[in-house]
């Protein structure tokens, strides 16, 4: 039996996490000092010249302020629930003519900046929770306000605490720790398999294995295989045996997605934290919205208002002040606990991010089963945060797709990128169920990924096997930049395809934006324009044929967006064309996908394109048409891309 000391392994994880923390913090500090606010805004890390809306106390009795973005509305920002921010008040220029924007220096009171936490984001409106006692008037009267992302100390602190707690653990948490780091077989219950007519054979097997698991089970879901459908059914069946379960994921978006599917299944979900997918349906099952709609909330709000007014109007020498305050606080606590108990008592599923599971609202709560969706994208330390609340854990995801984001090369080489799901897959194959039938892609698009990543076990469902847009179309093709100076292949496109002298050469833009290949970007849009002409404009609009353009590099994404915006041909189609990074397309699909690989150099350097898991995501987003654009001479020096190119040439 292969056994690794779990204590030593987790101590190693902690050391690597410490390295990652220091690198991440230093990089954030350097960026804040070196880059102006304008550049931060273009990256989506800041809002400039924000308009102050109103201030109020939310249902959790937190002082909240509304901020509105007034410029750069076309930039995709990185603000979301739970992220820490700084609110900067731009100072008037000094006599030397330099403006002090308060970067890197903390000022007493508000002064140069105020810290807060994002509570809600909807388009260009943001709600930020700020400390009690904040001088709201100073904010309202400031010459200009800027809000920017701050370094997230809280997430790291919670991961460190989770590792320390797991290292010291005895009881059930200690048992799971020791189990996961050994090759000891995971125990199961024994009962006849249940049948689910609306699931395929592998999905049905996965649900049964989840129900049988005493300690752990893994649902391995390759692209398009219905992982979410399977997980929802597993949760539904688990709730026939348990009163309540905890469902977590690494990102707010993933939590929103699984929560929405559970609600559609008729399950009472309580979402801890505000959703990223903002709509009335999503908001209706958040804790805050449920709290506000409770019949006793009006009374509670009145008591809290009374407490604030009592404190604000306290008179010197008022001997009855403390008595009045204590009576009101006792009544406040009583009502708060009663409302909270009723809300949690009615919920069958508690849904939150892994970090969100540390929320004080969940203090003292225990669950029979913890479900972790998109487990392959979460650091192991983050998975241990909710684990203390559960007796068993079910992990779902695909370790052959996007890995966790890690900034330290040293930490990555040390093994920080190895997830808990990977560890369990390697040590406990009996606990893993692979979903094998996919419902997204044409068979020819799917087959390469199936062969390379899943040992050829994934097959296409009959309904999508031969699905395409055009008769006799080539579902998957690789396209290169040719050496012609000017090529307009169809006058109907009206696309100015003027090329630059150094064809195919990549350009380094910066650490955070990566690389751009302008000729390849233009070739990408030329390929799309030509395909649109073949399909026909009217058919595209009638059938709402949607398109995704993917690139590993942010600089290439931004340049392609710029080209689309200034090209008249694409004006009618802009709403159906999405352009984003590989990470931005995780979990999504489109009828047509174009992938711009960017790298083109004499040395054959491909950088992080060597992370094939990202490429697996990129090439599995397309339902009916996949076009890959890349420099063959550069990329085929790597065996994966050589094989992919040969596949496109021979079978696409």
CB 44 within 8 A of CB 75: yes
Q: Given this model, what pLDDT does residue 90 score?
A: 65
Rounded Cα distance, 460 and 471, in Å? 19
Rounded Cα distance, 274 and 282, in Å? 9
Of the listed ranges 11-25, 110-124, 192-206, the one predicted with least confidence = 110-124
* 407-418 pLDDT per residue, tens: 999 999 999 999
CB 617 within 8 A of CB 582: yes
How far, in Å, are 235, 243, 407 from residue 262 at the CA level?
Answer: 8, 15, 34
3-state helix, strand, coil in the chain (%, to 5): 45, 20, 35
What does the pLDDT average to over 137-149?
87
561 CB-near residues (< 8 Å, 6+ apart): 579
How far, in Å, are 68, 357, 366, 580 from residue 336 at the CA level?
Answer: 31, 20, 20, 43
Q: What residues form DSSP beta bridges with 580?
A: 550
pTM value > 0.85: yes
pLDDT beyond 50 at 108: no
What does the pLDDT average to over 209-232?
96
Rounded Cα distance, 433 and 206, in Å? 5
> Which single residue is written with the structure tokens 């966790």?
404
Q: Which two tokens stand for residue 384?
A: 């241990």
Rounded Cα distance, 470 and 423, in Å? 44
Q: Which two tokens stand for residue 387?
A: 């684990």
Question: What confidence category does residue 603 fall into, taking pLDDT thresholds of 50, 70 and 90?
Answer: confident
What does the pLDDT average to over 3-12?
87
* 505-517 pLDDT per residue, tens: 788 876 667 889 9
């Amino acid at each position: 039996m292969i056994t690794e000391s779990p204590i030593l392994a987790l101590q190693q994880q902690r050391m690597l996490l410490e390295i990652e923390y220091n690198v991440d913090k230093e990089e954030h500090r350097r960026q804040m000092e070196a880059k102006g606010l304008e550049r931060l805004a273009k990256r989506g890390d800041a809002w400039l010249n924000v308009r102050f809306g109103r201030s109020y106390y939310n249902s959790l009795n937190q002082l909240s302020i509304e901020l509105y973005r007034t410029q750069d509305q076309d930039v995709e920002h990185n603000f979301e629930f739970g992220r820490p921010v700084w609110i900067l008040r731009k100072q008037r220029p000094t006599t030397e003519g330099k403006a002090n924007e308060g970067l890197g220096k903390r000022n007493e009171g508000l002064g140069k900046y105020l810290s807060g936490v994002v509570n809600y984001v909807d388009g260009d409106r943001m709600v930020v929770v700020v400390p009690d006692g904040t001088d709201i008037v100073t904010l309202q009267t400031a010459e200009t306000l800027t809000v920017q992302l701050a370094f997230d100390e809280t997430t790291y602190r919670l991961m460190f605490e989770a590792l320390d707690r797991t290292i010291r653990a005895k009881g059930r948490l200690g048992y799971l720790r020791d189990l996961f780091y050994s090759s000891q077989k995971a125990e199961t219950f024994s009962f006849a398999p249940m049948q689910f007519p609306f699931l395929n054979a592998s999905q049905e097997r996965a649900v049964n294995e989840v129900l049988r698991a005493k300690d752990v089970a893994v649902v391995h879901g390759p692209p398009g295989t219905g992982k979410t459908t399977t997980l929802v059914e597993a949760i539904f069946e688990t709730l026939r045996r348990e009163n309540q379960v905890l469902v977590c994921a690494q990102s707010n978006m993933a939590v929103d997605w699984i929560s929405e599917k559970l609600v559609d299944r008729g399950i009472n979900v309580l979402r801890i934290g505000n959703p990223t997918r903002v709509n009335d349906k999503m908001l209706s099952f958040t804790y805050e919205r449920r709290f506000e709609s409770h019949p006793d909330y009006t009374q509670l709000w009145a008591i809290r208002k009374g407490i604030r007014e009592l404190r604000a109007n306290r008179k010197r020498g008022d001997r009855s002040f403390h008595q009045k305050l204590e009576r009101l606080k006792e009544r406040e606590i009583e009502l708060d606990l009663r409302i909270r108990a009723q809300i949690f008592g009615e919920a069958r599923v508690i849904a939150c991010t892994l970090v969100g599971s540390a929320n004080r609202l969940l203090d003292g709560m225990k669950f029979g089963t913890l479900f972790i969706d998109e487990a392959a994208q979460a650091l192991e330390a983050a998975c241990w945060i909710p684990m203390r609340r559960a007796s068993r854990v079910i992990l779902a995801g695909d370790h052959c797709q996007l890995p966790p984001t890690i900034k330290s090369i040293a930490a990555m080489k040390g093994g920080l990128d190895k997830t808990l799901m990977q560890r369990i897959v390697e040590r406990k194959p009996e606990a893993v169920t692979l979903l094998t039938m996919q419902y997204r892609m044409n068979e020819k698009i799917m087959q390469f990924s199936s062969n390379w990543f899943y040992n050829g076990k994934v097959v296409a469902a009959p309904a999508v096997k031969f699905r395409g847009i055009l008769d006799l179309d080539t579902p998957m093709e690789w396209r290169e930049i040719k050496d012609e100076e000017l090529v307009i292949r169809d006058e109907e496109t009206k696309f100015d395809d003027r090329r630059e002298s150094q064809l195919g050469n990549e350009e380094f833009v910066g650490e955070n934006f990566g690389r751009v290949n302008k000729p390849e970007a233009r070739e990408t849009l030329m390929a799309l324009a030509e395909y649109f002409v073949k399909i026909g404009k009217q058919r595209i609009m009638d059938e709402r044929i949607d398109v995704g353009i993917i690139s590993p590099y942010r600089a290439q994404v931004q340049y392609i967006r710029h080209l689309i915006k200034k090209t008249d041909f694409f004006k009618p189609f802009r709403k159906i064309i999405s352009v984003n990074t590989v990470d931005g397309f995780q979990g999504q699909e489109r009828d047509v996908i174009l992938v711009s690989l960017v790298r083109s150099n004499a040395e054959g350097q491909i950088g992080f394109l060597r992370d094939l898991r990202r490429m697996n995501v990129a090439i599995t987003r397309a339902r009916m048409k996949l076009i890959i654009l890349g420099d063959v001479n550069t990329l085929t020096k790597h065996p994966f891309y050589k094989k992919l190119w040969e596949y496109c040439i021979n079978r696409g």
